[in-house]
Each structure stands twice: as structure tokens, then as C-alpha cells.
Amino acid sequence: MIYNCFMPDSNKWSEFVIQKYIAFRGDKIGREGSVTAFAKWLGVSQPQLSRMMSPNGQTPGSHKTINAFVDKYGIEVFDALGMPIPGDDDTYGSIEPHTRDQAITIILELAERFEIPVDILDDRQDQKRRPE
């Protein structure tokens, strides 16, 4: 999945992260409700999380960071980032069908060559587009 082709809204993302932190903090007192504890629970560094929480904050740029949030909060993370949900039928909707088919064929060929599992296509699309 390619994350870097989308321009996330950093204000929307920082608001999302702050709301999730406030919910995490809840009634906790002391270090239990700290940003450091939240970062540890998420699986991201505290400095990185603090940058995300600042106004016009940093948006995650790596699969690992995005997946850390998705593991805790599900697909609402993609909405907060302004990204399509992986696997949605509309993910490739804005690409011309011929170009999309060529891209999928290239992805599958590379994945097969380097023995990388491909999870961006469902089985039906995979069988239909896989080169023989």
C-alpha cells in the first residue's frame, strides 16, 4: 500500500490525536495519563507523538506509525489522515482503468519476484489480473 501519495490534513490529524489522548487520559492521574504513557501504549515515540499533537502537527509518514494507530483505533485513522481505506473499491477509482490494470500487474509481478505478500487486492481481483 502506498501512503505517501496522499496529502493529509495536519490540523484534522492533530485534533484526532489530541481527542484520542484525552480519552486515553480519562481519569488517570500522574504518569499513568501522561503523553509518554500514551505514546508507549500506541507504540510510537513520545517526541513523535508530541509533534503530532501540536497545531498543524506532523502527520505520520511511515507504515509502522500509521499501523500503530490503526491497531488501536481502526479505520477511523484513515479518515483522520484524509486517506482512502485500504481495500475499498474506490482506492483506485480515480485512476484510468487501463493505467490501474497496468499498475496492479506491475505490483503483482514485483511481489511475486521478491516473494512479498500482496494484500491490496482481494482474491477475485488477484486471480483476474495475475499474469500467467
Show the domains of the chain with their CATH numbers: 10-81 (1.10.260), 89-129 (no CATH)
- Summarised one tens digit per residue, pLDDT across range 79-123 is 888 887 776 555 555 566 667 677 777 777 777 777 776 665 444
Please list the alpha-helical segments (H only) found in 43-91: 46-53, 63-73, 76-81
DSSP single-letter state for residue 26: T
pLDDT band at 50 (very low <50, low <70, confident <90, very high): very high
Closest CA to 6 of 85, 108, 74, 73: 85
Count other C-beta atoms under 10 Å from residue 82's C-beta. 14
Whole-prediction pTM: 0.60
Rounded mean pLDDT, 56-72: 85
Report the SS3 class of residue 131: coil
